[in-house]
Amino acid sequence: MRNSFRIFMVLFCLMLALPLQAQQLQTIDHIYDPKIETVLLFPQVSANQLDPALTLNPPVISLDEAVSLQLEFDDLTANYRSFRARLVHCNADWQRSILNDIEFTYEYNDNPITDYQISINTKIPYYHYRFTLPRVKLPGNYVLVVYDERNRNNILFTRRFCTYQNRVTVAADVRFSTNPARQFSDQQLDMTLNYKGYQVISPQDDFKVVIRQNYRDDREIRGLRPTNVLAFEQVLEYRLIDQSNTMPGGNEFRFFDTRTVLSRANYIDRIDRPADRNIAYVQVDQPRNRGVYIQSDDFNGQFVIDHRETGNGATNADYIETVFTLKTPEISGFDVYVNGAFNFWQLTDRNRMAYDPLLGAYRATMMLKQGVYNYDYIVATTGPQPKVDENFIEGSFSSTENDYEVFVYHRPPASRADQLIAYRRVGVNKRK
């Protein structure tokens, strides 16, 4: 009888695991269900903390600290739906690894999402869900997959996150580019990696280093090789003269505040309040690609959900029809997008702008939850292989304040997957 039960459980687990393995799962940040909005994944030190600024931190946590990741999202169907979540392990290139669930999870890798609340006094009703991610065994890259409990093939969204254990030491410094032609527009990250006491066969080949700007997966540098190997000191130096460790500094992000609809807040031109929804018109923007750099504070492209009257943005914040306007002549051969972390930095039909010849401006309308948002404007060439240019409208300056992250991956001997063995955050041009 006991053997029969074990066989049944094994077959049951295999049956549950097959759908996600059989389909081509995209290991990116993406929302597949149009009724799912405002997907937040962030470190949560304590369950009692309600500070909305916590969501500004990237979903990267140490396995050696008592910190968990908190997931929050809204379902705008306004009907309760049963959701479940599972984790997918990935290598350094975000391709799915060959590890079995039991190799990186402590518990059964299929979790119900049961914590939910109903929105309060909002014109757009929704269900707000919360879920604390289970701890994992291995440091590395993971993708959280949330799907419909009634249909495992109906994936609602996917979110990337990382766990790390600092087994080597990274020292990094950001400055303006050493290329005279790019010193006023680009920023350069030089670094050293100290692997003393860590077992590695070929240091110059085995470490995989990734540099990321402002927590954006579309602003990464990969494939860096050390310029100098100090074998006796067990140190690798990355001070590249080919500018492969250089990124455009960009510009400080634009922002607006919709935490209240009772009055106009920062950079809101007007608010209309029909019976079924609220409409906020962001002040008309102009291109910033000419002229000098202007210092301002921002969230480096992120956003914070909040509600000024109650302080509870999770369930009291309403969804507002937000209208963006960019005053500029029509740009031939390019599509124009309003972009930010609220759209996972992806260029889609949702954030594509349309040119209005009567206004002489580009316009886009998006449904966004109340809060403070950073955003900018991006152009992309039309065609099958579009080229993206974020500096065409915004400009780029080496004086811009930015955050950088350094990820160091390694596959230990006899291991079957890459592990994240070092993580370092470093800022440039910080003013507070």
Which pLDDT score, from 0 to 100, does residue 11 have? 43
Q: How much is the pLDDT for 291?
A: 86
Angle at 355 between CA 354 and CA 359, to 5 degrees: 130
| Residue 330 structure tokens | 């029509």
pLDDT for 271 equals: 97
* pLDDT averaged per 10 residues, the chain (length 432): 47 45 76 97 76 92 95 96 98 97 96 97 98 97 97 96 98 95 96 96 95 97 95 94 94 98 95 97 96 94 97 96 98 96 96 97 98 98 89 97 98 95 96 74
- The predicted-structure confidence for 269-312, as pLDDT tens digits, reads as follows 999 999 999 999 999 999 999 889 999 999 999 999 999 999 99
- Per-residue pLDDT at 48: 56
- Rounded CA separation 310/180 (Å): 51
- Cα separations in angstroms, 129 against 60, 117, 276, 280: 21, 7, 23, 26
H/E element, 103: helix 101-104
Q: Are 220 and 212 in contact (CB under 8 A)?
A: yes
**Burial (Cβ within 10 Å: 0-12, 13-18, ≥19) of residue 137:** middle
Predicted structure pTM score: 0.92
Residue 21's pLDDT is what? Answer: 46
Element housing 181 (H / E): none
Report d(CA 407, CA 209) in Å as an integer: 6
Q: Which two tokens stand for residue 212?
A: 């990321």
Number of continuous H segments (helices) and E segments (strands) in the chain: 5, 29
- For 213, the 3-state DSSP assignment is strand
Residue ranges and CATH numbers for the domains of the chain are: 24-164 (2.60.40.10), 169-249+401-428 (2.60.40), 254-394 (no CATH)
- Tokens encoding 95: 């391709």
The pLDDT assigned to 355 comes to 98
Residue 347 phi, psi dihedral angles, 5° rounding: -100, 105
d(Cα 143, Cα 155) in Å, to the nearest integer? 13
pLDDT at 12: 43
| Amino acid code (one letter) for 259 | R
Please, what's the largest Cα pairwise distance for the chain? Answer: 79
